[in-house]
Structure 1
Amino acid sequence: MQLTQERKKALKAIGHKLNPVVTVAGNGLSESVILEIDRALEDHELIKVKFAVGDRDLKKDLLVETEKVTRSTLVQSIGNIGLFYRPAKEPQLRKSNLLKD
């Protein structure tokens, strides 16, 4: 999904105050990690994922793979943190990071 620059800017502003909800360790993307990221995206729409892997190239590969496997969009990557967005099928006011505030 392509995002306009204005939409990316708005998502980055919302994502700035978020904490990572999933941590990907050196093992990479296991099935349980992918399921947890998928569940978090469905609940919150916009999430941060921490990639605690030592290698910069591996981190880049994991960012791309996460985006592909979860059918989400990587909005921003700073350091070890990736900000991912995927609109929920049925957004819930209490859970969605986009509908809060």
Structure 2
Amino acid sequence: MALTGKHVRHLRSLAHHLNPSIIIGKADVNDGVVEQANAALEAHELIKCSVLDTSALDVREAAEELAERCRAEVVQVIGRKFSLYRESKRDDIEHIKLP
């Protein structure tokens, strides 16, 4: 699902208050990071990630690689942080209502 401009603005406003739940370091985007991101996306739909200085990837590269491997959408990249969104299939969570 491609996000529209209105969707991105809404998700950016929600992501602003989040703390990074995924931290990408020296090991870059490996299988463990992808597993963590998939679990967090299923539980919350919107997550914020942080890329440490020790990572060989720049922030946009890390965001695009993780989004591709998790089948998620990159919402925003600012500084060393980025946000990802993927609609969850779980029924026991409160889903984000996109405008």
TM range (shorter): 0.7 to 0.9
Query: Structure 1: which 4+ aligned runs deviate by more than 2 Å?
Result: 53-60, 96-99
Q: TM-score, normalised by structure 2?
A: 0.86
Larger deviation, residues 70-79 vs 82-91: 82-91
Share of identical aligned residues, percent? 27
In structure 2, distance between residues paired with 1:34 and 1:92: 22
State the one-letter code of the partner of 2:90. E
2:29 alignment counterpart: 29
Give 1:15 deviation, angstroms.
0.6
In structure 2, C-alpha distance between the alignment counterparts of 1:89 and 1:54, rounded to whole Å: 34
Q: Deviations for 1:41-71, whole angstroms, at most 9, x for unmatched residues?
A: 0000000011113578633221111110000
Taking the TM superposition and a 5 Å limit, the aligned residue runs for 1:3-82 are 3-54=3-54, 58-82=58-82
Once residues 85 and 61 of structure 1 are traced to their aligned partners in structure 2, the CA distance between those partners, rounded to angstroms, is 16
Structure 2: distance between partners of 1:86 and 1:68:
11
Aligned residue type for 1:92:
D
Checking the alignment, whether the CA contact within 8 Å between 2:77 and 2:83 is kept in structure 1 is yes
Give structure 2 stretches of 5+ with no counterpart. Answer: none
In 2, Cα distance between equivalents of 1:63 and 1:86: 13
Q: 2:96 aligns with which of 92, 95, 98?
A: 98
Q: What is the aligned partner in structure 1 of residue 83 from structure 2? A: 83
Q: TM-score, normalised by structure 1?
A: 0.84
Between the aligned partners of 2:62 and 2:48, the Cα distance in structure 1 is: 14
Contact 1:22 1:37 in 2 (8 A): yes
